[in-house]
A and B are shown apart, each in its own frame.
Chain A
Amino acid sequence: MLHKAQETFGYLDEDVLTYIARGLKLPLSRVYGVATFYHLFSLKPAGAHTCIVCLGTACYVKGSGKILEALEQELSITVGNTSADDKVSLLSARCVRACGIAPVAVFDGTVAGKVEPPAALSRIQAWEAED
């Protein structure tokens, strides 16, 4: 149910959760509890583009932390947030299971392997340049 709502609206705000709770005849607290328990559900709208940097063990050992640092500086935000112009959301993941090609970043759902900080930066800068 929440999967479908998230897919449709992109995020779950209070109205959506209230609607679901009423429909299922459950207290809002129960629905809210489930929605906040799982990382996949987001209570905030996302930016136009998302970049997910993998911080799994293999990527970590191969320096994905440096990619994240570079991107945080470029966008002047910390991980988990969206840039001020709503263009880019920067997220981290606990392993996207493409460890064979670590370090990995996911740009708008497309997995890219063996990413170096300059390559990641240029992808982000291209998004920022868009109207």
Chain B
Amino acid sequence: MDDLANLIDVAKTERSRQKRLRVHCCTSTGCRAASSEAVLTSLQDTIKTEGLEDEVEAIGVGCMGFCGRGPLVEIEPSAWLDPAFQGDKPLENEQLYEEVKPEQAASIITALKGGTAVAVKGNPQHPFFARQMKVVREFSGRIDPERIEEYIAVGGYRSLHKAVYEMTPAEVVDEITHSGLRGRGGGGYPTGLKWATVAKMTGDQKYVICNGDEGDPGAFMDRSVLESDPHLVLEGMAIAGYAVGANHGFIYVRAEYPLAIQRLQKAIQQAKKYGLLGSQIFDSMFDFKVDIRIGAGAFVCGEETALIQSIEGGRGNPQPRPPYPAQSGLWDCPTLINNVETFGNIAPIIHRGGDWYAGIGTEKSKGTKIFALTGKIRNNGLIEVPMGITLRDIVEDMGGGVPEGDIKAVQTGGPSGGCIPVSLLDTPVDYDSLVAIGSMMGSGGMVVMDDTTNMVEVAKFYMEFCKEESCGKCIPCRAGTVQLYDMLTHLLSKQATEDDLIKLEELCRMVKETSLCGLGMSAPNPVLSTLRYFHDEYEALLKTPAFSSS
């Protein structure tokens, strides 16, 4: 790839290759488990037998989001994928089918000639879809993640070209700072500031790391992004490399994500072939190569210093900070480390500008966030929404509420977060509001619990998780989580007294304040938040029921 003209050529050739109608079938992990591959084969076969090859094509795509009702099949005119497309998108031209069985797939194709399909029809205008705002997931579920040409046809790698040829590294950093983007891995550290810190460091060798060690149970947005649009992440990393002066990137992916790893490998190869990764990208002086590192099942490796240890080949023990990775990270070189979703935001920001991005969301939390809506809820799946939307809108309107009974709580932030009671559902979803009520944004897991869920057991469940995942390096976390777990077990066997509850809370605060890394500091959050909002459930478990002091 020499320059922009070549890129545009590839895009044009690909667009003229595409058929008028595209039948998208999800082939991500969730839908695959519900035999979506057989559905896709049947769709493709039927197109041939019906003689529709010139008009219609069936494509295996990434995640469409509505995983609870998979496999999903969607029909969309290819013209809508053209970045230059303007005008109406008439509803009747978009069709969605849910829970498609392999034997129903053929009828979806024959229905294109007239008649009706025997599959369950979905509603693309349902609030679950209509209230989303897609930035990172704009092309998830609409393009084939295994073909770089499709990504280029929807405008891919344009932002990288723009960064390398029209902007200085400092201007790229400024644009990101200006957008107000904050780290999507959970902490919410301003991305622009992190980039600026690494960019300022001197030294010949710097690294960019993409953290794909998505550890929170119930969160699967990073898996989905990597499986559905791997090039978006690679482009984001390359832009970051240009901005901070790094020529080597690593993506650290959990070993539990074989499909994501396979698609990333393919994506890296294709990008190299087109000269979009490797040396002299777009014939410029900028080199950037990307390697994959595979995790081996350790939650703590999502912590940045532990992850760096793990890439170096050792035990994933967190290290005290400072020095921060930005100063001395991988092999003691300045290292920029961001989450998958953060990198997913970069290309759209460079393409449309920081102002555009800063116009979305709230004052302090800009842009959109992907959430994994799971648990006792009618509409399971992934949603991307603007920051500042209320929990109630997400859970009740988009999620359709709990199937039976009432909502009791929403758990956000995984084992590091907290349980938010139904009375606080009107809280806007942004970094600071969630912290204020004792939870956190985290990586974006949202588990809904109904009135049959015992909150003390939930707290114990998370504590068991933290106890096992604690790396054992610092004592508050290693011993504290075990003690907290034992206290909760004691409580659940109805042997505890009121004093024990006070001790429980004291120990929580101690572990929180004295642990070395984020795992220990946040491990007590599920206990603290349930103690705060569901104190009556703890009291009901005491040996002698407590009388309130009032």
A97 to chain B, nearest CB (A): 4
Q: Report how far A112 CA is from B35 CA in the complex, Å.
A: 10
Give complex CA distance A95, B256 in Å: 9
For B457, the closest partner residue in chain A by CB is A60
B286 interfacial by beta-carbon distance below 8 Å: no
Q: Is the CB of A57 within 8 A of B296?
A: no
Binds A, one of B129-137, B216-224, B236-244, B346-354: B216-224
Check A3 against B296 for contact (C-beta < 8 Å): yes
Q: Which of B30, B218, B382 contacts A56 (CB 8 A)?
A: B218
Assess whether B245 is interfacial by the CB under 8 Å rule.
Answer: no
Query: B251 within 8 Å of A by Cβ?
Result: no
Is B90's CB within 8 Å of the partner chain A? Answer: no
User: Is there an interface contact between B223 and A97, defined as CB atoms closer than 8 Å?
Assistant: yes
A94 contacts B376, C-beta separation under 8 Å = no
Closest to A106 in B: B33
Q: Which stretch in B109-117, B312-320, B322-330, B421-429 binds the other chain?
A: B312-320
Asked whether, in the complex, the Cβ of A104 is within 8 Å of the Cβ of B33, the reply is yes
Tell me if A101 and B30 are in contact (CB < 8 A): yes
Contact status B294-A3, CB under 8 Å: yes
- Closest B residue to A112 by beta carbon equals B33
Q: How far is the CA of A62 from the CA of B377 in the complex (A)?
A: 10
Q: Which of B75-83, B147-155, B162-170, B445-453 makes up part of the contact surface?
A: B445-453
* B187 interfacial by beta-carbon distance below 8 Å: no
Q: Say whether B294 contacts A98, CB under 8 Å.
A: no
Smallest CB–CB gap between B533 and chain A, Å? Answer: 17
Judge whether A111 and B298 touch: CB under 8 Å.
no
A9 at the interface (CB under 8 A from B): no
- State whether A61 and B376 are in contact (beta carbons under 8 Å apart), knowing that A34-B313, A101-B67 are contacts in the complex: yes
A37-45, A68-76, A120-128 - the one binding chain B: A37-45
Pairwise interchain contact B217-A61, C-beta atoms closer than 8 A: no
* Contact of B411 with A57 in the complex, beta carbons under 8 Å: yes
Point out the residue from B214, B448, B453 that lies within 8 Å of A97, measured CB to CB: B214
Asked if A93 is an interface residue, CB under 8 A from chain B, the answer is yes
A113 interfacial by beta-carbon distance below 8 Å: yes
**Other-chain contact of B68, A1, A57, A101, A104 (Cβ < 8 Å):** A101
A93 to B217, CA, bound (A): 10
Which parts of A58-91 form the interface with B (CB within 8 Å)?
A: 58, 60-62
Given A40-B255, A94-B217, A113–B299 Cβ distance below 8 Å? no
A23 within 8 A of partner (CB): no
> Which residues of B454-469 have CB atoms within 8 Å of chain A's CB atoms?
461-462, 465, 469
Q: Which residues of B contact A30 (CB under 8 A)?
A: 314
Which A residues between 1 and 53 are near B, CB-CB below 8 angstroms?
1-3, 30, 33-34, 37-41
Chain B hits for A38, CB < 8 A? 295-298, 316
Q: Return the chain B residue nearest A100 by Cβ.
A: B67
Complex contacts, A112 vs chain B, CB 8 Å: 33
Query: A97, B316: Cβ atoms under 8 Å?
Result: no
Task: Evaluate contact between A57 and B375: CB separation under 8 angstroms.
Answer: yes
Pair B33/A98 contact, Cβ less than 8 Å = yes
Task: Say yes or no for B29: interface residue by CB 8 A criterion.
Answer: yes
Complex alpha-carbon distance, A40 and B316, angstroms: 13
> Would A99 and B314 count as touching, CB distance under 8 A?
no
When chains A and B are docked, how far (Å) is the Cα of A113 from the Cα of B447? 17
Does B29 contact A111, Cβ atoms closer than 8 Å?
yes
* 0/1 string, B251-286, CB within 8 A of A gives 1: 000011100000000000000000000000000000
Contact B33 A101 (CB under 8 A): yes
Across-interface contacts of B219 in A (CB, < 8 A): 97
**Contact between A62 and B375 (Cβ–Cβ < 8 Å)?**
yes
A97 touches B471 (CB 8 A): no
Residues of B within 8 A of A101 (CB): 30, 33-34, 67-68, 70, 380
Q: Is the CB of B296 within 8 A of A60?
A: no
In the docked arrangement, what's the CA distance between A100 and B32, Å? 12
Verify if B414 is at the interface (C-beta below 8 Å from A): yes
Known contacts A57-B218, A99-B380; decide if A3 and B255 are in contact (CB<8 Å): yes
Q: In the complex, A95 Cα to B257 Cα: how many Å?
A: 11
Out of B32, B297, B453, which one reaches A61, CB within 8 Å? B453
Q: Which residues of A lie under 8 Å from residue B462 when comparing CB positions?
A: 57
**CB-nearest residue of chain B to A57:** B218
CB-nearest residue of chain B relative to A97? B220
Interface hits, B286-319 → A, CB 8 Å: 294-299, 313-316
When C-beta atoms are compared, the residue in chain A nearest to B220 turns out to be A97
A58 CA to B220 CA in the complex, in Å?
11
CB atoms of A99 and B223 under 8 A apart: no
Q: In the complex, A98→B382 CA distance in Å?
A: 11
Show 9 residue pairs from A and B whose CB-CB distance is below 8 angstroms, ordered by the A residue: A39-B298, A57-B445, A57-B462, A61-B453, A95-B220, A97-B29, A99-B218, A99-B220, A113-B33
- Top 10 closest pairs, chain A to chain B, by CB: A100-B67, A38-B296, A56-B217, A39-B297, A95-B217, A58-B374, A97-B220, A111-B33, A99-B374, A40-B296
Apart from A3-B296, A33-B315, A101-B30, 15 more pairs, CB < 8 Å: A38-B297, A38-B298, A40-B295, A58-B375, A60-B217, A61-B375, A62-B375, A96-B29, A97-B219, A97-B223, A97-B256, A99-B220, A100-B382, A101-B380, A113-B30
